[in-house]
Chain A
Amino acid sequence: MSAAPSTNGPVLEARQVTMRFGGLKALADFDLALRPRELVGLIGPNGAGKTTAFNAITGVYPPTSGDVIVAGQRVNGMRPHEICARGVARTFQNIRLFKEMTALDNVKVGLHHGTGHSIASALVLAPGHYREERRVEGEAQELLGVMGLGHRRYERAKNLPYGEQRRLEIARALATRPKVLCLDEPAAGMNASEKTALMELIRKIRDQFGLAILVIEHDMRLVMGVSERLVVLDYGVTIAQGPPHEVRHDPKVIEAYLGDAYLEEKRIPVPPETAK
């Protein structure tokens, strides 16, 4: 797709993305097209290659082969900060906040690439420096407010409770003004009600910021409730793709999650906990 980015074209596209680590093919021919404002779940058992897909998209490792295209522009081979500047932001499975910095400063780092003043202007305190710093301050406060962290702005990130750290990571990612937000197990370690609240928040973010969101999640039921489309990975291979209700009945998906022995024994195509 070499056409100019249009409003209907995919904002993020992965074409035949393959990642090899030595003899291991962690991700094979991964295809994905994410349209604007679409919420897609990426699921699969442990070690299926979900995080590897994220890392390939965000430039942590350049893909062994295949293309990653953001808003019509090929980005593979670019460094993560360049891909971020083109509109792909992410959170991490194991929280990676700037622990000793305040919540506010964490968000301000996310706003960094949008600032337009040089180091020199900061050192001589040029007028542009004040202007930019004031703008960054205002936007950071606003984002913290949206994520319900306004009262925590001067708290060091490491001192926040776990759920708030997760939310702060999302706020920091939103600060980079992404077109696509990649959330790597945002609900990990949360209880059922926290998870539901988080998924509501994710939907709200999508609507308010008009983003496409790609979310990795272990909890099938949860991700099915919130996403419009699912991509299922197993051993690096995409085994199913489609709307949740279709994917849920796909024998390959059930097999990957529960094993074929389960299917044979019970002779039921749908695991009870995924049925509504």
Chain B
Amino acid sequence: MTPARAFGRSLLPFAIGLPVLVVLQGSLRGSASIILMAAGINVILAVSLNVVNGFTGQFSLGHAGFAAVGAYTAAKITTGLADVQIVGLPVGLSDELIFAAALAAGMVNAAIAGLVVGMPSLRLRGDYLAIVTLGFNEIIRVIIENTPFLGQATGISGLPARTNVLWVGMGIIATVCMAVRLAESTHGRALLAIREDEIAAEAMGVDTTGYKVRAFMISAAFAGLAGGLLVHLIQLCTPRSFTFVKSIEIVAMVVLGGMGSVTGSIVAALTLSLSLEGLRGVQQYRMVLYSLMLIVLMLVRPEGIFGTREIWDLLPRVFRRRGAPPPGTAEPGTGSGGKLA
């Protein structure tokens, strides 16, 4: 593959997404677009958490904490530079560039937070890691609530409304590309190997600690992106948007979609976010129905909507990606012979 073709392939999803998003941007109005954007941000959160919880099999309950780091970083930058205009550029473009820089800075800071949390805590497993990450989420919230610079409990208000369908759409494409490309690379296989059997992965030459930290950092960076987009959508940055309840909501999306399934996370995030909106008509039963839906889904499909598979694994063979297992061989549960000692 020539560098030029590789480059083209790398940017292809963005090039295809751009016109679609521009059309969507022009046609969507009012609450519909806001609901879609909020759902889209949840997609980013779920897909990025899937890298840690699904691919690597490390149970993190602190995803909203990383989103908060990204959100506050981006919010401080856009409010701080609200009156700044990049010389020689029109106001609109200058604002968009500053927003892009703010989101990028949010991703970097969130990744650093991921490193800081990951280094000491990734020696722990399962429940213990979940508790530590939950604690981290609360620490972030408490720090924010007690720091005047970050607006304490009231947060930072009056943020510019920079987030639009285009930004969220591009964010989703970037996150999904990251997850899918990671999964199909040797690094993704190293992560999956850690999930499957950490001792064997280590014995086969995978630096398990290093990979867990990297997975944590990548995942945190994209959570930071989602945080930055969220606060510039609702134009308010408060610690209440990033409590552990939010983290649990994201975990529910990942589990519901199927641990390790990127498309599953997307479908689950959209389903959960949109059904919560759809249920506004029956306001008093909304949370009851939502909870019932979760319970029923988990009872019917405990492995999640797609299990560890992707949507294209369920399609007829013609639509399959090259290199994917032929039908009937990779379906979990079809071979009762899988229960060999």
Contact = CB atoms under 8 A, between A and B. Distances in A.
A22 interface: no
Contacts of B324: 154
B205 A123 contact: no
Contacts of A176: 204-205
A268 interface: no
Contacts of A173: 204
Contacts of B184: 133
**Main SS of chain B's interface residues?**
helix
Contacts of B201: 98, 109
Given A84-B205, A109-B204, A154-B329, A122 B196 contact: no
Contacts of A131: 1
B196 A123 contact: no
Contacts of B325: 102, 154-156
Interface string B150-180: 0000000000000000000000000001100
Contacts of A162: 340-341
A100 B208 CA distance: 18
Contacts of A154: 324-326, 329-330
Interface stretch (A1-9, A89-97, A218-226, A241-249): A89-97
B219 to A, nearest CB: 12
Given A80-B202, A89-B204, A96-B200, A123 B177 contact: yes
Contact of B196 (A81, A101, A119, A165): A101
B6 A112 contact: no
B218 A119 contact: yes
Interface in A72-114: 79-81, 84-85, 89-90, 92, 96-102, 105, 108-113
Contacts of A81: 202-208
Nearest to A137: B323
B338 A112 contact: no
B1 A85 contact: no
Contacts of B6: 125-127, 129-130
A110 B189 CA distance: 10
Nearest to A132: B186
Interface in A175-200: 175-176, 189
Given A109-B190, A161-B337, A97 B330 contact: no
B316 interface: no
B9 interface: yes
A133 B186 contact: yes
Interface of A: 58, 60, 79-81, 84-85, 89-90, 92, 96-102, 105, 108-113, 115, 117, 119, 122-127, 129-133, 136-137, 154-156, 158-162, 165, 172-173, 175-176, 189
User: Which 6 A-B pairs rank lowest in CB-CB distance, beginning with the nearest?
Assistant: A113-B205, A122-B185, A98-B196, A154-B325, A96-B200, A84-B205
30 contacts: A60-B203, A81-B203, A84-B203, A85-B205, A89-B203, A89-B204, A96-B203, A98-B197, A100-B332, A101-B189, A105-B189, A109-B189, A110-B205, A112-B190, A113-B206, A119-B187, A122-B187, A125-B181, A127-B1, A127-B3, A129-B185, A132-B186, A154-B324, A154-B325, A154-B326, A154-B329, A155-B325, A156-B325, A159-B335, A159-B337
